[in-house]
Amino acid sequence: MKAIILAAGEGTRMKSRLPKCLHPILGRSMLDTVIQTVQEAGAKELIVVTGHEGQQIREAVKEPVTFVEQKERRGTGHAVMTAAEHIRPEDTALVICGDTPLVTPEAIARLCEQHLKDASAVTVLSTIVDNAFGYGRIARTGGRFPKIVEQKDLTPDQMEIKEINTGIYLFHGRALLEALPLLNTRNAAGEYYLTDTLEIIQANGLKADVYCAPDPEQFMGVNTRVQLARAAEILKRRVNEQFMLAGVTMIDPASVWIERGVVIGEDTLLYPGVILEGATKIGPGCVIGPNTRIVNCEINHDVEISSSVLIDSHVGAFSTVGPFAYLRPHSHVGAHCKIGCFVDVKNATLGDNTKAAHLTYVGDADVGSGVNFGCGTVTVNYDGHKKYRTVIEDNAFIGCNTNLVSPVTVKESAYVAAGSTITEEVPAKALAIARARQINKTGWIHQSQNKTEA
């Protein structure tokens, strides 16, 4: 099967500089979503018809597809004519729109089954909706198939028809190639209607058929940002239900957003307000959220993360993160670690059993295992021009409110006294104290009062 995806629409109602089909829905553009759907449905070769923003679309699509540019937007029939040079007589050609991101591969597979079983020259995918306004209607005269009548061309009786054209079709290549040159623009919109190919194909003595699909929701088209949000809501529900059926608990699935491609293990619990993006992988038995965003991270099993943001990072088993922690790119946290509140980790490796319980910045650092960061430790990694690394070896103990001015090393099992500013290497098992010695001025309050009175 070959697929022709129509995406030359201007999308003026989106009121956007971004072409409509590139607007993301659950982390992936509508066009990429449709591309994936038709690939899953078995399409081997994809042709995307773009309009004037072709260049932007070409750059955004990573899948191997053929692009054709429809320079003038003269209707859906004209869009398919633009792609005609890529259609072979022996092809089975699927036509679908780039702005229907909810269509399932199953619906296309059913369409395919019926089309091939009945050896039709064209099969249209229809569905029954409550409000058919704006759609082409399937007009069956005397039980015979049919033609498709556009909204603008409806007769008063036809207004009542609730069976609509979803804009998805399967064509036999030869029948389509023979019908396209016979299209004309004699209709209310003055456009080449692809839908007219049905009548032409029948007039050529070939069979045109309809496959009426259940679940009309999936054929919803997106023309505005309101519809985009509504479609995203539906997709989110679908994705979340799959995760729940696979063993993930969600206290409030309506507030959980998971992009496709995310993996979550069994018995992981998601609190409200969890957002999981990109290639995130979460192991079993974790507790995530509330209000947590995780992007492209690998989270091992039995990890607890609360009210935090994690990007391009790794967290080992049995570790806890948050509340209010920030793991920035290239943070690698080992097993049984604690990254507590207001802890910011960036481009750093932390070995197993290492703890930074509160108010700490670990940036550009190589930290061993069993290290304890006192409250308020700062790796001073930036001199205004360059970044430097801090090395802290196994079982070191960093006292509260310490500055580690990098590049600097704290060797294995060393101690740093609270309040120190460390600028030189601390030897293994040593105690470093780098702060002014305390002076107590006994009776100072009386002396100072006497002065004031005098």
> Helices (H), strands (E): how many in the chain?
8, 39
Distance between first and last Cα of the chain: 101
Site for Ca ion contains 221 (CB under 5 A): yes
Query: Which residue, 119 or 203, has its beta carbon nearer to ligand UD1?
Result: 203
Out of 193, 211, 243, 326, name the contact with ligand UD1 by CB under 6 A. 193
Query: Which residue, 75 or 363, has its beta carbon nearer to ligand UD1?
Result: 75
Evaluate whether 374 touches 401 at the Cβ level (below 8 Å): yes
Tokens encoding 94: 């699927």
Partners of 382 in beta bridges = 387
Site for ligand UD1 contains 78 (CB under 6 A): yes
> What does 27 bind: ligand UD1, Ca ion, none (CB cut-off 5 to 8 Å by kind)?
none
Stretch that binds ligand UD1, among 29-37, 72-80, 293-301, 329-337 (CB under 6 A): 72-80
Tokens encoding 307: 């009210």
Q: Is the dihedral of CA 124, 128, 129, 131 positive or negative?
A: positive
Site for ligand UD1 contains 19 (CB under 6 A): no
Q: Which of residues 122-161 bind ligand UD1 (CB under 6 A)?
A: 135-136, 148, 150
Q: Can you list the alpha helix ranges (DSSP code H) found in 279-396?
A: none
Q: Is 358 a catalytic residue?
A: yes
Shortest Cβ distance from residue 56 to ligand UD1 (Å)? 14
Chain residue at closest Cβ approach to ligand UD1 = 136
Query: Which residue, 135 or 318, has its beta carbon nearer to Ca ion?
Result: 135
Shortest Cβ distance from residue 112 to ligand UD1 (Å)? 19
Evaluate whether 186 touches 150 at the Cβ level (below 8 Å): no
Out of 8, 210, 356, 371, name the contact with ligand UD1 by CB under 6 A. 8
C-alpha span between 108 and 41 (Å, rounded): 6
Shortest Cβ distance from residue 228 to Ca ion (Å)? 13
C-alpha span between 332 and 318 (Å, rounded): 14
Query: Which residue, 27 or 221, has its beta carbon nearer to Ca ion?
Result: 221
Out of 3, 4, 7, 41, name the contact with ligand UD1 by CB under 6 A. 7
Q: Which residue has the tokens 């089975």?
A: 92
Shortest Cβ distance from residue 136 to ligand UD1 (Å)? 2
**Residue 15 CB-density burial (10 A; 0-12 exposed, 13-18 middle, 19+ buried):** exposed
Tokens encoding 238: 């679908």
Q: Name the catalytic one among 23, 332, 336, 358.
A: 358
Q: Which of residues 196-255 bind ligand UD1 (CB under 6 A)?
A: 221
**Residue 315 CB-density burial (10 A; 0-12 exposed, 13-18 middle, 19+ buried):** buried
C-alpha span between 415 and 392 (Å, rounded): 11
C-alpha span between 266 and 301 (Å, rounded): 10
Residue 63: CB atoms within 10 Å: 11
> What does 6 bind: ligand UD1, Ca ion, none (CB cut-off 5 to 8 Å by kind)?
ligand UD1
C-alpha span between 209 and 125 (Å, rounded): 9
Cis peptide bond upstream of 64, omega within 30: no
CA distances from residue 17 to 22, 37, 240 in whole angstroms, order as listed: 10, 26, 31
Site for Ca ion contains 51 (CB under 5 A): no
Chain residue at closest Cβ approach to Ca ion = 221
Out of 22, 87, 111, 164, name the contact with ligand UD1 by CB under 6 A. 164
Minimal CA–CA distance to 24: which of 211, 244, 262, 278?
278
In the stretch 88-127, what mask flags binding to ligand UD1 with x, by CB under 6 A?
---------xxx----------------------------
Site for ligand UD1 contains 25 (CB under 6 A): no
> What does 164 bind: ligand UD1, Ca ion, none (CB cut-off 5 to 8 Å by kind)?
ligand UD1
Shortest Cβ distance from residue 72 to ligand UD1 (Å)? 8
Query: Which of the residues are catalytic?
Result: 358
Contact positions toward ligand UD1, by CB under 6 A? 6-9, 49, 70, 73-76, 78-79, 97-99, 135-136, 148, 150, 164-167, 193-195, 221
Contact positions toward Ca ion, by CB under 5 A? 221
